[in-house]
Amino acid sequence: MIRTCFIIVMVLLSIGTAMPAWGQKQLTTAGMSIPADGKTVCTQQLQQAIDAIAKKGGGRLVFTKGSYLTGGLMLRSGVELHLEEGATLLGSTNPYDYQSICIAHSSDNRNDNAAMALIMADGADHISITGSGTIDGQGLQLALNIDSLHHTGERIDPNYNQRRQRPSETARPKLFFLYGCKNVTVEGVKLRSSANWGLSLHLCQQVQLQHLDIENRAYWNNDGIDLTDCQHVLVADCHINSADDGVCLKSYHADSECYDIEIARCDIRSSASAVKFGTASWGGFRKVYAHDIKVSDTFRSAIAIESVDGAQIDSVLVERVEAHNTGNPIFMRLGQRAGDRKGSLRNVVIRDLTCQVPFGRPDEAYDLRGPEVDFFHNPFPSSICGIPGNCIEHITLQNINITCPGRATKGMAYIPLWRKNDVPEQIGKYPEFTMFGELPAWGFYLRHVRDITFKNVQLLLADDDFRPAIVEEDVEGFVK
């Protein structure tokens, strides 16, 4: 017998106004019987309910206890999806149940990631997803099915990753993909197991992502939250466990930027970086405030700030970060991999940060671990590196306490100080704290930097290290 549960449709009394969270009175107008057995695909019924609510001016679609199996859903303006405790929205594992949003009007023509997801919206206003229920993309099985269809020749992925033997990011649906939306709220829900990124918001404004429990570690490229050229965003009180970057700011559009972003009181565990700017960095990142962040068991950087495609990074404050068992405390990089486009990285303050770096892999317990480099090396220091003729400027590190593992040996790798200029510039390379190979410092490696201040920066060793704590090259105005 097919189990059914009621989906309650609530319609707002006035057209064009906001969700219940914004104080609007509601009226229950209809009940719909929807299969809730977790086996019967109900995409069509759910989409019809969403469309009906939108047509009547907006309202709330309430998911009561049960499991609702669906393919991609398009959220409309004025619609709230509310998942009660015990309600689960399950993503279909059939790749044919997902369609891409047409974003031909976008100024980003690289198409290097999926424009399809379990929950989608295109140009919607006043949309929200709330409650205490769960949205589960069933991403591992979905990705494996996509992989199988590629190998049988039924559904060829033209960008298939042959080296790593997996479908490309363009072929795998995200959990959310919200494009060009305004007044977005996602609050309270549990988000699980995408085949790709988790929450992906692109060119959105006035966004609140709060009290979310995100576990996205089922497959590769499992970021937690990605904000691409978004403005006026609050990410607060979220628990994130992701097999790729935790919270990642991206800029794909040279004429846009991430602006006025606050990341507050988040607990992040990642097999990549916890809070990251980039790698895509075409427009800019300005007025970003990250604070009260707890990082643990994270393979790459606790804080990574990168401009390598021409982005302008300015006015960034990071404070009160506690990082335990994290591979790299701070990585700041100004590169140039996009032809003649020169970016900038300036006016960054990082303060009240503590980090404990282990000797071994911090993400050892992960099913999907960050790819290790293929050369012998000693433990890597934090790096703040520009390029010749384009320096990182006006950086302040204050009240920093970092414990590094030590145990460096000259037999493993050795760059003496008289050869420090032999460290490769890697101007056009992918930015990563391992990108320079062996480095001659154990605490900080500073290169092509102007006006940098260390105030109460304490660097400690758990074991001996033959290298100096700090090495500078082409650094002017270093106050310590």
Q: Following DSSP, what letter does each residue of 49-86 receive, concatenated? A: HHHHHHHTT-EEEEE-SEEEEES-EE--TTEEEEE-TT
CA 368, 370, 376, 380 torsion-angle sign? negative
| pLDDT over 90 at 127, yes or no | yes
Residue 19 has a pLDDT of 38
b/e code 378-398 from CB counts within 10 Å (16+ = b): bbbbbbbbbbeebbbbbbbbe
Burial of residue 31 (CB within 10 Å: 0-12, 13-18, 19+) is exposed
Can you tell me the mean pLDDT for 238-259? 97
**188-200 per-position pLDDT tens digit:** 999 999 999 999 9
Which of 218, 60, 65 minimizes the C-alpha distance to 134?
Answer: 65
Please give the C-alpha separations between residue 49 and each of 6, 18, 21, 38, 92, in angstroms, as whole numbers. Answer: 12, 18, 20, 18, 18
Q: In terms of pLDDT, which residue wins out, 32 or 322?
A: 322
Asked whether 220 and 227 are in contact (CB, 8 A), the reply is no
Q: 122 in helix, strand or coil?
A: strand
Query: Cis omega (within 30 of 0) on the bond before 279?
Result: yes
Q: How far apart are CA 367 and CA 250, in angstroms?
A: 26
With residue 189 as reference, give the H or E element that holds it.
none
CA distance 480 to 250: 32
The Cα–Cα gap between 57 and 250 comes to: 33
Q: Tell me the pLDDT of the chain averaged across its residues.
A: 92
Nearest-angstrom CA–CA distance, 389 and 207? 37
Residue 448 buriedness (CB in 10 A; 0-12 / 13-18 / 19+): buried
Q: Indicate if the pLDDT at residue 398 is higher than 70.
A: yes
Number of CB atoms found within 10 A of residue 438's CB: 18
pLDDT at 110: 60
Residue 273: helix, strand or coil by DSSP? coil
- How far is residue 82's CA from residue 87's CA, in Å, rounded to a whole number? 9
Least confident of 12-16, 172-176, 414-418: 12-16
- Report the pLDDT value the prediction gives residue 252, as an integer from 0 to 100: 94
Identify the band that residue 112 occupies on the pLDDT scale cut at 50, 70 and 90: confident
Q: Model's pTM, two decimal places? A: 0.93
Q: What is the pLDDT of residue 415?
A: 96
pLDDT at 466: 97
CA distances from 372 to 36, 310, 346, 444 (A): 43, 27, 30, 21
What does the block give as tokens for 173?
Answer: 């649906």
Residue 132 is classified by DSSP as S
Residue 351 has pLDDT above 80, yes or no: yes
**Residue 24 pLDDT > 70, yes or no?**
no
What pLDDT is recorded for position 448?
A: 98
Burial class (CB in 10 A: 0-12, 13-18, 19+), 408: buried
Query: Where does the pLDDT of residue 14 fall: very low under 50, low under 70, confident under 90, or very high at 90 and above?
Result: very low
pLDDT tens-digit series, residues 279-317: 999 999 999 999 999 999 999 999 999 999 999 999 999
Which of 28-32, 231-235, 254-258 has the least mean pLDDT? 28-32
Instruction: Show the tokens assigned to 444.
Output: 């900080």
Write down the pLDDT at residue 25: 28
Is the pLDDT at 164 greater than 60, yes or no? Answer: yes
Query: E strands along 357-430, which residues?
Result: 382-385, 392-404
pLDDT for 28 beyond 50: no
Of how many residues is the chain composed? 480
Q: How confident is the model at residue 1 (pLDDT cuts 50, 70, 90)?
A: very low
Tokens of 457: 């920066």
Residue 8 has pLDDT above 90, yes or no: no
